[in-house]
Structure 1
Amino acid sequence: MRIGYYAHHHGSGHCRQADKLAVLLPPTLRSQITVFTSFPNDGYRFSAIADEQIVRLSAEDQLPEDVLPGRAGEYWQPSSLHYSPVGNGNVQTRSWQLLNEIRQRRIDLMIIDVSAEVAMLCRTASVPYLYVRLAGERDDKPHLNAFAGALGLLAPYPKALEASATPDWVRQKTLYLDFMPNKTDELLTFTAFINKLMTLTTDNTIHERLYSRLDAVNKSAEDNANEGNIVTVIKGYGGHDAIDAKLPELRRALPNALIISLGPINDEARDYVDIAAHVDDVTPFIAYSDLLLMACGLNGIAQAYDYATPLIVLPDERPHREQEVMAEALIEQGRALSWAQFIGQTSSLGSQDIPSFLSVNNKSINNESVINESINTDKTALTGNQANMLAQEFMDSFADYTSVKAWFEEWLLPQLGIKPER
């Protein structure tokens, strides 16, 4: 089947998600995927999808000449849409682009990540679609209408992290694909990781601390527990002010830790970290740090979820409580602590290096028994396998069918355990 993938332009994550799914297909079938997006060309470089497979859509920003703005109020706004300007030339052009390219490229099935408006356009044009559900509480009418109009729903996260308020019918209509980690190079050894940290700073004092940590590799976990704990703060480009504001308090809570900040950082926050850097691959930092502090964006949590490294979550404020719901689920699972829990427990224990309550030794995470030996040993993900079997089965199903009708009736509906009314 020929698949179309609509990737929303808010952040690179939607394009990245398309890339993650495409890489699961053999190259011959990969060429039949088309990505539709208005995300800028220089904002994300696809690894599994060629340029000729990408349709760059017109923007949908509000224009001065619009007859009605995108959100015109209760009596001027269809309840099935979040944003629907009237007389907007760009929106008209992108709608024509979508439908024309779907027809010319003979797209059999669309995957919409995410847009209630594109979902309604496809439904009214009788184009079959699957809708990607992000985390959070998405119980407004536009979302529920987009869900109802889809053949099925896709959740790029584990079912265990589902919002408690999600309606039963939405859960039943959803394929949970679990997290799909970014494709990374082979994990560095701990020695190589320490050597990489050396290149990120010219401070001789920090170099000495890193050498000391490296010397402790052959000691027991108990002996090296206080040999310069490494705390990594991971921030994305969608917002980092809230985490930067916590850095002074983090330093006071863990005065002896080596604190590393990855991603953007405000100038006034630099004094509270030992190393501030931008890196292409955060995986070694996730694997070998003694503690992580990060927001709850989908891609970031997908990378960290299957590692045993203790996690402090500080969710950004996003529409539909997207990150807050993710954080609440991680905390409920015992996979993470909130900032308040972390500060409260460090305060009760007194300032020290990574407290014992953050140890995940012998803790059950992601439904698997984890024995986290020394942080200094070479590590793999807790699952032991980065490949995502559920997502792989989903993508393999497209290779097994040439008809959407047959795929829907013979593969998707049995997966969901429900059938539409006739």
Structure 2
Amino acid sequence: MRLGYYAHHHGSGHCRQIDKLAALLPVDAKRQLIVFTSLSQDDYDFTAVDETQIVRLQAEDECADDVLKGRAGEHWQPASLHYSPVGNSDIQKRSHQILDTIYQRKIDLMIIDVSVEVAMLCRAASVPYLYIRLPGIRDDNPHLNAFAGALALLAPYPRLLEASMTPEWVSKKTLYLDFISHNKQQGLTYFEFIKTLAKLNPSNLKDLRKDSPTIITVIKGYGGHEAIDMKLSELRRLLPNAFIISLGPINDDMRCYVDIAAQVNDVTPFLQHSDYLLMACGLNAVAQAYDYATPLVVLPDDRPHREQEVMAKALIDQGRALSWRQFKTLLSHKQTHTNPNGQSANKAKPKSVSKSGNANRNKDCLTAAQEFMDSTTEYPTTKAWFEKWLLPKLDLNPDY
């Protein structure tokens, strides 16, 4: 089957998700994949998919000459859509781009990550689609309509992180792919990691090899980082002698609170050799950190449908993460057991790579995602795949 993938433009996580899934496809199938997004190449440059396979869509912003605004009110807005300007030439063009490409490239199955409007466009045009389900509470009419119109739903996270209030039929219609991570690069030793830090900012590097202070890495993405930045001054007050690393975007007035502010291609060494990781609860960031023993301190961003809040609560309930309040309480209990460098009295030197029991779960998650991607290459038609692989996997049948 030929696959198409719609990646929403908010942040880079949706594009990153298909990059990870595409990497699981054999070469021939990967070359047939088409990705639709209005995100520019400057904002996200794909690694597993060639630029010739990317359809850069028109934006969907409201225009001054729209007949109706995107959210026009109860009696002017279809209950199945979140946002639907009327008379918007850009949306007309992007709809044509999507449908024309599906027809010209003979795309058999669309995967939508995420857009209720694109889902309804596909359903109205009789195009089969799967819908990516993000964490959070998505029980509004538009989402439920998009879920009902899909052949199935895909959750790129473990079933155990499912919100308790999710309708039963939605859970049953969902394939849980678990966390999907890029293949990790070979890990660094602690001393190799210190050399990496020296290259990032040699003028501000403490003698980590000698002092071995508490290392805290703050990981941020481009979907929003201001809330985490606002915690940096308090973090510095709590741990004045810690070595604090900020990865990703940072506000200029917050750089004074960290020892290194950088952007890196591979966060694996930081996951391995930090004492704590401070991060929001975006899917890609959590997926990368989940199988390491390094404690997570989660600071969920305020997102629609309580997406990151639900993820954070699930991680905390599992004992896999600490809230900011729990982190501060933990530090207050440890203060009497630290030396002047901020190093715990029982901290090992040097710090070694430590993987948690979640590593096996990560192996399973790759198996789930790999099994799904492999299945799309094993059947000649969408109908055959739907009836012989998908429905038995879900243990469901349509109500004919």
Paired residue for 1:377? 352
Paired residue for 2:227? 242
Counterpart contact for 1:289–1:375, Cα < 8 Å: no
Aligned mates of 2:121, 2:328 — CA distance in 1: 48
After TM superposition, the runs of 4+ consecutive aligned structure 1 residues lying more than 4 A away are 351-357, 379-382, 384-387
Secondary structure of residue in 2 paired with 1:388: helix
1:282 to 260, 263, 267: 267
Counterpart contact for 1:290–1:375, Cα < 8 Å: no
| Mapped pair 1:421 → 2:399 | yes
Paired residue for 1:130? 130
Unaligned runs of 5+ in 2: none
C-alpha RMSD of the superposition = 2.1
Paired residue for 2:21? 21
Aligned mates of 2:21, 2:202 — CA distance in 1: 40
Deviation at residue 65 of structure 1 after TM alignment: 0.8
Counterpart contact for 1:177–1:390, Cα < 8 Å: yes
1:347 to 332, 341, 349: 332
Aligned mates of 1:56, 1:276 — CA distance in 2: 31
1:401 to 379, 387, 398: 379
Deviation at residue 111 of structure 1 after TM alignment: 0.5
User: After the TM superposition, which residues 154-169 of structure 1 pair with which residues of structure 2 at under 5 Å, given as runs?
Assistant: 154-169=154-169
The structure-2 alpha-carbon separation of the partners of 1:129 and 1:262, relative to structure 1 and needing over 3 Å to count, comes to same
User: After the TM superposition, which residues 170-249 of structure 1 pair with which residues of structure 2 at under 5 Å, given as runs?
Assistant: 170-203=170-203, 206-208=205-207, 210-212=208-210, 227-249=212-234
User: After the TM superposition, which residues 112-131 of structure 1 pair with which residues of structure 2 at under 5 Å, given as runs?
Assistant: 112-131=112-131
Unaligned runs of 5+ in 1: 214-226, 360-372
Identical amino acids, percent of aligned pairs: 63
Aligned mates of 1:275, 1:39 — CA distance in 2: 29
Aligned mates of 1:124, 1:402 — CA distance in 2: 24
| Range 269-278 or range 56-65, more displaced | 269-278
Deviation at residue 375 of structure 1 after TM alignment: 7.0
Aligned mates of 1:269, 1:65 — CA distance in 2: 41
Aligned mates of 2:345, 2:304 — CA distance in 1: 35
| Mapped pair 1:390 → 2:368 | yes
Paired residue for 1:216? none
Counterpart contact for 2:217–2:277, Cα < 8 Å: yes
Counterpart contact for 1:291–1:354, Cα < 8 Å: no
Secondary structure of residue in 2 paired with 1:118: helix
The structure-2 alpha-carbon separation of the partners of 1:421 and 1:356, relative to structure 1 and needing over 3 Å to count, comes to farther
Counterpart contact for 1:4–1:110, Cα < 8 Å: yes
Counterpart contact for 2:291–2:355, Cα < 8 Å: no
Deviation at residue 355 of structure 1 after TM alignment: 6.8
Aligned mates of 2:349, 2:147 — CA distance in 1: 45
Secondary structure of residue in 1 paired with 2:75: coil
Paired residue for 1:411? 389
Aligned mates of 1:231, 1:330 — CA distance in 2: 19
User: After the TM superposition, which residues 59-74 of structure 1 pair with which residues of structure 2 at under 5 Å, given as runs?
Assistant: 59-74=59-74
Aligned mates of 1:392, 1:188 — CA distance in 2: 27
User: After the TM superposition, which residues 39-50 of structure 1 pair with which residues of structure 2 at under 5 Å, given as runs?
Assistant: 39-50=39-50
Secondary structure of residue in 1 paired with 2:293: coil
Secondary structure of residue in 2 paired with 1:325: helix
Q: TM-score, normalised by structure 2?
A: 0.93
Paired residue for 1:365? none
Deviation at residue 43 of structure 1 after TM alignment: 1.5
Deviation at residue 203 of structure 1 after TM alignment: 3.7
| Mapped pair 1:263 → 2:238 | no
| Mapped pair 1:310 → 2:295 | yes
Give the partner amino acid of 1:212.
K
Give the partner amino acid of 2:27.
P
The structure-2 alpha-carbon separation of the partners of 1:28 and 1:380, relative to structure 1 and needing over 3 Å to count, comes to farther
Task: String of CA shifts for 1:194-247, please: whole Å, max 9, x gaps.
Answer: 11112222347x442x1215xxxxxxxxxxxxx412111111222222112212
Q: TM-score, normalised by structure 1?
A: 0.88
Paired residue for 1:222? none
Aligned mates of 2:127, 2:317 — CA distance in 1: 39
Deviation at residue 266 of structure 1 after TM alignment: 2.4
Give the partner amino acid of 1:173.
K
Aligned mates of 1:136, 1:318 — CA distance in 2: 9
Counterpart contact for 1:346–1:355, Cα < 8 Å: no
| Range 286-295 or range 47-56, more displaced | 47-56
Count the aligned residue pairs.
Answer: 393
Aligned mates of 1:51, 1:270 — CA distance in 2: 35
Task: String of CA shifts for 1:311-363, please: whole Å, max 9, x gaps.
Answer: 10001101111111110000000000000111133235546447799x9xxxx
The structure-2 alpha-carbon separation of the partners of 1:321 and 1:237, relative to structure 1 and needing over 3 Å to count, comes to same
Task: String of CA shifts for 1:113-167, please: whole Å, max 9, x gaps.
Answer: 1110111111111111100001111111100000000000000111111112111
Paired residue for 1:221? none
Aligned mates of 1:83, 1:229 — CA distance in 2: 47
Give the partner amino acid of 1:197.
L
